[in-house]
Amino acid sequence: MKVLVVSPHPDDEVLGVGGTIARLAGEGHEITVTIVTKGWEPLFPESQVKQVRTEAKAANELLGVKSLRFMDLPVTKLNQVPTHELNEKFERLIHEEKPGMVFLPFYGDRHEDHRQVFHACMVALRPVIDQKHVQRILCYETVSETHWSTAYIELNFEPQLWVDISKHLPTKLEAMQKYQSQLRPEPDARSLEALESLAKWRGSMVGMHAAECFVVARECWHK
C-alpha cells in the first residue's frame, strides 16, 4: 500500500509517526513523507534551514521512507497563504501520490500550521468517486503541540487506534537523534526520554510495550 505522511514541520513525522513509519516500511509498504513548511530569513538563517533539511533526509532514510518531498511553504505563515492556493497544493499532492493511507497532524494541535495543514488536506481528501484509493486517514499526536490544547474548550486528543511499535521504538529514537537541532534535554517534551515515556505509556494502555496512537479521521471499506 502507498502511505503518505504529511508533516507540517521537519521532525513532526518522527515525533508522531516514526515508529509506525518504520513498521510499515519493514512490512513492504511504500512510504512518502511530505514536509510542508520551510524557515525564512531573518527569523531562520539559511544555514539553519539547510541543517534541518539535511537532518530530515537522514532521519527519513533511517526510517525506510522511499520518497521525501518538501513543499517549502513559509513556516508560521500558512494562514497568510490564500486558502485556494493551499488547498490546490495538497490536491496536487494527493493526485500525484494516490495513497491508500494518510497520516495528518491532529486538528486540535496548538500550532496554527498544524491546523491549517489538517484542514487543507481534508479538503484535498474529500471522498469523491475518483479518490477511492484513500482507505484510511489517521491523525497523529505531536509532543509539545497535541497536548497543549485547553481541556473542555478545545478539541483534545482521544486515541482510537494503537499501533504496536515495541520492535521499532529504538529506530524511532535513533531517527529523532538525527534531528539534533530540534532535540532538547530532559524534561523538555522534545527530549528522547519524553518520546520513549510517551510510547511506553501509550502501549501500557492496551497491553503493549510501546505504541503510537491515532485518531481516525476516516476509514472506508470499498467493494
- Give me the average pLDDT of each 10-residue run along the chain (223 residues): 98 98 99 97 90 98 99 95 97 97 96 96 92 94 90 91 99 98 94 98 99 98 81
How many CA atoms are closer than 13 Å to the CA of 92, on its beta-carbon side? 9
Q: Look at residue 41 in the predicted model and tell me its pLDDT.
A: 87
Burial class of residue 82 in the structure, from the number of CB atoms within 10 Å of its CB (0-12 exposed, 13-18 middle, 19+ buried): exposed
Q: Look at residue 189 in the predicted model and tell me its pLDDT.
A: 93
Q: Cα–Cα distance between 142 and 148 in angstroms, integer?
A: 10
Domains of the chain: 2-219 (3.40.50.10320)
Residue of 28, 24, 21 lying closest to 6 (CA atoms) = 21
Q: What cell numbers appear for 4 in the block?
A: 503518505
Judge contact between 127 and 28, C-beta under 8 A: no
pTM for the model stands at 0.97
Q: Examine residue 42 and say whether the peptide bond preceding it is cis (omega within 30 degrees of 0).
A: yes
